[in-house]
Each structure stands twice: as C-alpha cells, then as structure tokens.
C-alpha cells in the first residue's frame, strides 16, 4: 500500500502520469494479485467447508445488498457534486470530499459489518487491498487510456499524506498486533486536519 502511494508520487512529480507510468503501475500490481490468489488457494485447502442450507437465498441477499450500497453511493456522489457546484467548490475539492466519501461508502459498510462480527482480518485485508488496487490497477488503467495531469497541491500535500497514513497504519497494526481505539482516534484526527487543509482559502459562493 505504501509502495503504491510512493510510485504515484514519483510519477506525478513532473505534473503528468503518462501511459508508460500507467503500464508500470499495472505491472507492479501483478505480483501482489498473484500472491493474493496463491494465499487464497492455500487457505481454501486449510479452511473447513461449510454447507449452506439455502445458497440461493444468500446469493439474492448478497446481490441486493451490493446493489443498494452501489445505488446509495451513486446518490451521494451525484447530489454531493451538485451541492458542491452550488457552493463554488473546485474539482479537486469535490474529489477529496464528496467523491472520496461516496466511493468509500461500500468499503465502510463492508468493513463495519466485518468488525461488528469480529472478523478483523476481513476488515484490514479489505482496507489494504482496496488502496493497493486503486493506487496501482485503477490508476494504471486510467493512465493507459489517457495520461492524467496532476495538480501541484496533489504532489506536495495529498500524495505525501497518503504515504504518511500508510506508514502510520502499518505501525499501529504491527505494534502488539492490534489496532486499538486511541490509534484510531489519531488516524481520524489526522484525516480531519487533512480535510481542513483542503478547505483553507475556500469561501462559500451561492451566486
């Protein structure tokens, strides 16, 4: 996760993430993806097989829940963007607020459900995998399709903040092999400071 953010920062320093950069990002994602598949196959051999009495019902509920999460996230992004435009927010500010929140809602819902069921491995695995996939695979595909210009503030503030967040999370997770509430409060506080920094100099305009 830290490597993916670092690669994005290096490639963005010239103000543009090009097609060659995108190809390198995709190639960097492959060994992680292959390793994850190998681990999953091994765990499948070791894990006990559970018979479901009504597998079709589980499939229906799963698809319905997935659809509701996707629909709700789409509503947040669409209406949030309209509200942001009304307030005079620029594209970068919209991206790090409403778009980031809307696209993360499915992750939050799934992760919270796993935490409430005491399945911490699912939660942490989802957080790591999602950030790695976004930083390498999604960014790689987008840059292959079309080179992406990068604003200066993303290079000097946002991407370094991603690296700091990744380092802190890794430190908190590996110390005592637990991620406790005080560490979570620190992460939330840092995010609030990051969010406040995004709004510095922003004034609401309803004209």
pLDDT value for 9: 94
Which residues touch 179 (CB under 8 Å, ≥6 apart)? 120, 124, 169, 172, 173
The per-residue pLDDT for range 40-83, each reduced to its tens digit, is 788 777 666 566 677 778 888 888 887 887 787 777 777 777 77
Unique residue bearing structure tokens 């802190």: 168
What residue spans define the domains of the chain?
Answer: 2-198
Alpha-carbon span 41 to 37, nearest angstrom: 6
pLDDT value for 82: 79
User: Encoding tokens for residue 55?
Assistant: 């597998």
User: Encoding tokens for residue 31?
Assistant: 């060994």
Other Cβ atoms within 10 Å of 143 Cβ, number: 23
Query: Which secondary-structure segment (H or E) carries 10?
Result: helix 2-12
Backbone angles phi, psi at 50, to 5 degrees: -110, 125
- What SS3 class is residue 206? coil
pLDDT value for 26: 94
pLDDT value for 106: 74
Please give the chain's pLDDT, 207 residues, in tens.
899 999 999 999 999 999 999 999 999 999 999 988 888 788 777 666 566 677 778 888 888 887 887 787 777 777 777 777 777 777 777 777 777 777 777 777 777 877 777 776 667 777 888 889 989 999 999 999 999 999 888 898 889 988 999 999 888 888 877 788 898 899 999 888 888 877 775 544 444
| Degrees to nearest 5, angle at CA 99 with 206 and 70 | 125
Unique residue bearing structure tokens 């319905």: 64
Other Cβ atoms within 10 Å of 123 Cβ, number: 20
- What SS3 class is residue 180? coil
- What SS3 class is residue 148? strand
């Amino acid at each position: 996760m830290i490597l993916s953010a670092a690669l994005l920062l290096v490639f963005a320093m010239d103000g543009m993430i090009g097609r060659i950069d995108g190809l390198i990002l995709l190639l960097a994602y492959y060994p992680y993806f292959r390793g994850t598949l190998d681990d999953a196959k091994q765990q499948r051999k070791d894990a006990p097989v559970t018979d479901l009495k009504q597998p079709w019902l589980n499939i229906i509920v799963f698809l319905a829940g997935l659809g509701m999460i996707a629909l709700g996230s789409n509503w947040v992004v669409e209406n949030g963007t309209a509200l942001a435009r009304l307030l005079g927010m620029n594209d970068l500010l919209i991206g790090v607020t409403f778009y980031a929140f809307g696209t993360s809602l499915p992750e939050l819902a799934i992760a919270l459900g796993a935490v409430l069921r005491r399945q911490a491995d699912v939660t942490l695995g989802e957080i790591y995998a999602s950030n790695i996939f976004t930083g390498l695979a999604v960014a790689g595909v987008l840059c292959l399709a079309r080179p992406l210009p990068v604003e200066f503030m993303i290079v000097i503030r946002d991407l370094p903040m991603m690296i700091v967040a990744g380092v802190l999370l890794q430190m908190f997770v590996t110390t005592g092999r637990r991620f406790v509430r005080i560490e979570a409060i620190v992460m939330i506080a840092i995010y609030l400071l990051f969010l406040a920094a995004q709004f510095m100099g922003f004034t609401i305009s309803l004209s």
